[in-house]
Amino acid sequence: QVPLVESGGGLVQAGGSLRVSCTASGRTFPTYSMGWFRRAPGKEREFVAAISRSGGSSYYADSVKGRFTISRDNAKNTLYLQMSSLKSEDTAVYYCAGSTGYGGTTERDFNSWGQGTQVTVSS
């Protein structure tokens, strides 16, 4: 497993922006496909976004397209999720995940998980 640690969560007002980060230990981060998932109150954990190893390809859930941007800085071993135009329904614990393979859009496609960071959007 590659240790993953999320940070940057907090409370923001609807319509605002927030960036959460995920930092990995070790020197193999550039070989991992990465993704973001979230679990809202009373709901199952769902896919949010994913990014290829080089950062050249990104994929988003329909619910966040046009509002969220996933990116990575391999030199810093860090994954980012920039969130804008936040809605109350975005309130959730956000998890980063890593894959030693091609990645994907489901939990089973990822091998390593962080502990999550809470994002709360107030109306």
Instruction: Quickly state the pLDDT bin for 2 (edges 50, 70, 90).
Output: confident
Between CA 117 and CA 93 the distance in angstroms is 5
- Quote the pLDDT of residue 27: 85
- Quote the pLDDT of residue 1: 64
- Quote the pLDDT of residue 101: 85
Instruction: Quickly state the pLDDT bin for 105 (edges 50, 70, 90).
Output: very high
Question: Which pLDDT tens digit goes with each residue over 49-74?
Answer: 999 999 999 999 999 999 999 999 99
- Quote the pLDDT of residue 42: 94
Instruction: Quickly state the pLDDT bin for 102 (edges 50, 70, 90).
Output: confident
How far is it between the farthest Cα atoms of the chain? Answer: 41
The mean pLDDT value of the chain amounts to: 95
Q: Where are the alpha helices (DSSP H) in the chain?
A: none
Question: Which pLDDT tens digit goes with each residue over 5-54?
Answer: 999 999 999 999 999 999 999 888 999 999 999 999 999 999 999 999 99
Between CA 29 and CA 75 the distance in angstroms is 9
- Quote the pLDDT of residue 118: 98
Strands 117-122 and 10-13: parallel
